[in-house]
Amino acid sequence: MKRKLIILIFAIISSCSYTIAQAGKNYPQFDRRKMHFGFSLGMNFADFNYNYFPGFYNQDTIVNVNVNRIPGFNLGIVSSWDIHETFHIRFIPYLSFQEREFQYQTLRNGLLITETDRLESTNLDFPLMLKLRTKRINNFAAYGLTGIQYSLDLASDIDVAVNAGDRIIKMQRHDFSTQFGGGFDFFMVYYKFAIEVKLSNGFKNLRIDDGSYFSSPLTSLKSKVWWFTITFEG
């Protein structure tokens, strides 16, 4: 599924690049409208900003913890209020599928053993973004983004009973994060196509202190997600 999504993105980019190369100014009436709607799709790479419990490696068999990014994907609906040609307010709720891999190195009987545990999240994300765009140059414009986002994890294990030895890291269901990034607008004949990159950093500790084996070495887990997105607006 992820490979097909990547192929689709590159096919769309190639098609749009050919259209942009043609002479003339496409879709001149776009900037005369105050409201625009569309959809977005893309990939995400979810991570955590995390801190260790002081001296945890002296108290248990776990000697190291790493979090590895695994690609996910997201779908969204675009609503844009164009206050000015260069100043837009955007609301783009997403359904995002995110995945992270926790890698633990444990010392048992003098042997270093690596164990992994995957954390899957299905999020409803609600970002409210401020978009600052350059003036249009023929069929091209660049822009920057900043804003805040609320996320609801539909796959959270917060209500699951966990024993001390279970391979589960319980996470909070609600998260808040800041976002910033940028991208490029390409004007087609009947729609606008954009490519953008964003980084979101959560400011809430999502870790639940349940005393389990895999969560005890960590004091905090704050979300960190890279977003690679393409949008279509009419």
Q: Kindly report, residue by residue over 188-215, the tens digit of the pLDDT.
A: 988 999 999 999 999 999 888 776 777 7
Dump pLDDT digits (tens) for 211-230: 677 777 788 889 999 999 99
Whole-prediction pTM value? 0.80
Name the residue with tokens 């954390």: 119
Q: Between residues 202 and 115, which one has the greater pLDDT?
A: 202
Q: What is the mean pLDDT of residues 105-116?
A: 77
β-strand partners of 46 = 225
178: CB partners within 8 A, 6+ apart: 146, 147, 148, 149, 200, 201, 203
For the chain, counts of helices (H) and of strands (E) = 1, 9
Name the residue with tokens 């992820």: 2
pLDDT of residue 37: 95
Q: For strand 218-233 and strand 174-187, is the pairing parallel, antiparallel, or unpaired?
A: unpaired
Q: How far is CA 14 from the centre of its chain?
A: 24
Name the residue with tokens 């917060």: 158
Question: Does residue 106 register a pLDDT over 90?
Answer: no
pLDDT of residue 128: 97
Question: Does residue 22 register a pLDDT over 60?
Answer: no
Question: Does residue 174 register a pLDDT over 70?
Answer: yes
40: CB partners within 8 A, 6+ apart: 74, 75, 76, 77, 78, 92, 94, 229, 230, 231, 232
pLDDT of residue 39: 95
Fold of 2-58+70-101+119-233: Porin (2.40.160)
Q: Give the start-to-end residue ranges of the domains of the chain.
A: 2-58+70-101+119-233
pLDDT of residue 176: 96
pLDDT of residue 10: 52
State in Å, rounded, how far the first CA of the chain is from the last one.
27
Tokens of 136: 């249009």
Q: Which of 176, 114, 185 is nearest to 148 (CA)?
A: 176
Dump pLDDT digits (tens) for 47-66: 998 887 776 655 556 777 78
Q: Between residues 126 and 56, which one has the greater pLDDT?
A: 126
DSSP secondary structure letter of residue 31: G
Integer Cα distance of 156 and 73 in angstroms: 18
Listing DSSP states for 97-162 in one string gives EEEEEEEEEEEETTEEEEEEEEEEEEEEEEEEEEEEEPPPBTTEEEEEEEEEEEEEETT--TTS--
Helix ranges restricted to H, the chain: 2-20
Question: Does residue 134 register a pLDDT over 50?
Answer: yes
Confidence of residue 23 (pLDDT cuts 50, 70, 90): very low
Mean pLDDT of the chain: 83
pLDDT of residue 78: 96
Question: Does residue 41 register a pLDDT over 70?
Answer: yes
56: CB partners within 8 A, 6+ apart: 62, 216, 217
